[in-house]
């Protein structure tokens, strides 16, 4: 009887923790969308762990996220100043969430338009590894696996 009670408490607690984690992770991605749209570089950069890695399967390179952030900063600045518009949207095909760690698989759509130019967009298959430390979710690894098609993106609705 005691074992059944313990198992029941464990399962309820585990489901509650995963549900809390899922809501927090959904908020993480919504905040990332806001940061890109508003050109909030510093908040975006702060969403990564200090030792985070970007793995780029398209160019077969990996490097510290700070290297990528340095390259993206001008786009954030241009977005913030109104010289360009930018947005990102995430869709997921798989979520593996725990209380303090999460792995996400999906596609992101990044769209931008420089002043006086035609709008552009790219779809990227990606995976992300996140960790919760001191009450905040931080990305440890972003793996941009390959270019995706708009059809693949639409199939994830």
| pLDDT tens sequence across 108-140 | 999 999 999 999 999 999 999 999 988 999 999
What's the structural domain count of the chain? 1
CATH number at residue 55: 3.10.450.50
Q: How far apart are CA 146 and CA 150, in angstroms?
A: 13
Q: What is the mean pLDDT of residues 44-62?
A: 97
- pLDDT of res. 19: 64
CB < 8 Å & 24+ apart, contacts of 14-18: 17/98, 17/99, 18/97, 18/98, 18/99
| pLDDT tens sequence across 29-45 | 999 999 999 999 999 99
* Domain hosting residue 74, numbered range: 2-155
């Amino acid at each position: 009887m005691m074992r059944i009670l313990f198992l029941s408490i464990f399962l309820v607690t585990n489901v509650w923790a995963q549900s809390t984690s899922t809501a927090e992770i959904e908020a993480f991605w919504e905040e990332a969308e806001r940061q890109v749209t508003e050109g909030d570089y510093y908040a975006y950069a702060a969403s990564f762990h200090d030792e985070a890695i970007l793995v780029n399967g398209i160019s077969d390179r990996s490097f510290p996220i700070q290297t990528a952030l340095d390259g993206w900063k001008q786009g954030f600045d241009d977005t913030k100043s109104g010289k360009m518009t930018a947005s990102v949207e995430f869709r997921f095909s798989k979520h593996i969430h725990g209380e303090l760690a999460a792995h996400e698989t999906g596609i992101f759509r990044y769209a931008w338009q420089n002043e006086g130019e035609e709008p552009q967009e790219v779809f990227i298959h990606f995976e992300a590894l996140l960790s919760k430390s001191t009450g905040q979710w931080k990305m440890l690894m972003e793996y941009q696996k390959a270019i995706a098609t708009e059809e693949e993106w639409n199939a994830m609705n």
